[in-house]
Amino acid sequence: MSFLLRKPPNVNLKSLATLLRFATTIAAKPFPDDPTAAYYDELASAAAGSGDFHVLGDVLNKRIQDGFLNTKRTFNFITHSNFSPTLLDDIVKTLSQLNQGVTRRNALDCLVTRLCRLRRADDAVRVIESMAHGGICAPSACTFYPVLSFLTREKSFEHARRVVDLMAELGVGLDLMAHNIFLMAYCFAGDLDAAAGVLRRMEEEGVAADTRTFDALVLGACKAGKVEGALVVLRRMLDDGVPMLYSTHMYIIGTLLRMKCYEHAMKYVRIFLGKDTLLDAELLGCLASKLVNLNRHKEAMSILVQMKQRRVPMGYKLHDFYEKNVGNEMEQKIDGGV
């Protein structure tokens, strides 16, 4: 096993021997020849739980050497109940002593993500600052994604903009993903003026729009009840060859149904049928479910008949609804449906 036969860079054999003893003690079984990311997550949790941050550092180093990036579960040992400034300081110190490069950066990014999941965005920012100002690990825009996502979802836009100012101080600019985070949040909140400001900034910086940018614009138009505007954006996507997310379709379908434009919703779905089996199932199934919930049973049955004809799978509830209504007089009156 390579773990025992060669010395990895920047990690001494003594520390690896400690890690091996720790792994066999905690897991009550030999260190596996083919460890997994989940196995390393368990080791990280056990090391932190025992207060052995030296071993935690060994685990975080070796997992990268074995080709396993940290996961969203790596720092799950940090919880609401055990969080303390002392614990966080110990973890930051451990990260500062990891191998430089991807090992240190990936651990930092995952720690920031965990802190934001715990709704501790300010602590996450302090961790980033301490690692950056000490020259220990320069953050990237990716490092700030969880912070920006959390703050904008909470509609703490002023706080989020202060984080952007900090990013600038650290020499980190907003990339496409970061712009999209703000754009989606503004569109979801219905603040189209602020969304337009994001688009102007993207244009000034030469940042090209992508699928998620258009997805946000469609959402913004639908939130404002401007389904015609959403369709204009959609046409631009089709003309530019930009692939659509499922959510983009759902925004438009949902808006048409809220406007009681049932026939238009069915016509919209018809445009995209037959090109992608998974998309067919998503569009038809979603529309049928919404129509059933709206008690538009005739329209729902017309879609379910089409799903049967196209051999598009339907969920249990839709299948049950179809079986209960397939013999009804309703079905005989359907004239082709979708």
- 140-194 residue pLDDT tens: 999 999 999 999 999 999 999 999 999 999 999 999 999 999 999 999 998 989 9
Per-residue DSSP letter, 151: H
| Residue 84 phi, psi (nearest 5) | -155, 155
Model pLDDT, residue 75: 97
Q: Give 50's contacts (C-beta < 8 A, 6+ positions apart).
A: 26
Model pLDDT, residue 34: 80
How far apart are the C-alpha atoms of 207 and 330, rounded to whole Å?
52
List Cβ<8 Å contacts ≥24 apart for 224-227: 224/190, 224/192, 225/255, 225/259, 227/252, 227/255, 227/256, 227/259, 227/261
How would you write the pLDDT of the chain (338 residues) with one tens digit per residue?
Answer: 333 334 444 445 555 555 555 555 554 555 667 889 999 999 999 999 999 999 999 999 999 999 999 999 999 999 999 999 999 999 999 999 999 999 999 999 999 999 999 999 999 999 999 999 878 999 999 999 999 999 999 999 999 999 999 999 999 999 999 999 999 999 999 898 999 999 999 999 999 999 999 999 999 999 988 999 999 999 999 998 999 999 999 999 999 999 999 999 999 999 999 888 999 999 999 999 999 999 999 999 999 999 999 999 988 999 999 998 886 644 445 455 55
Q: DSSP E strands: which ranges in 130-233? A: none
Residue 40 neighbours by CB distance under 10 Å: 23
CA nearest neighbour of 227 among 267, 197, 193: 267
Q: Is the dihedral of CA 71, 72, 73, 76 positive or negative?
A: positive
What value, to the nearest 5°, has the Cα angle with vertex 86 and ends 93 and 115?
80
Whole-model pTM over 0.85:
no
Diameter over CA atoms, the chain: 79
Model pLDDT, residue 26: 52
List Cβ<8 Å contacts ≥24 apart for 43-46: 43/19, 44/74, 44/75, 44/77, 45/76, 45/77, 46/22
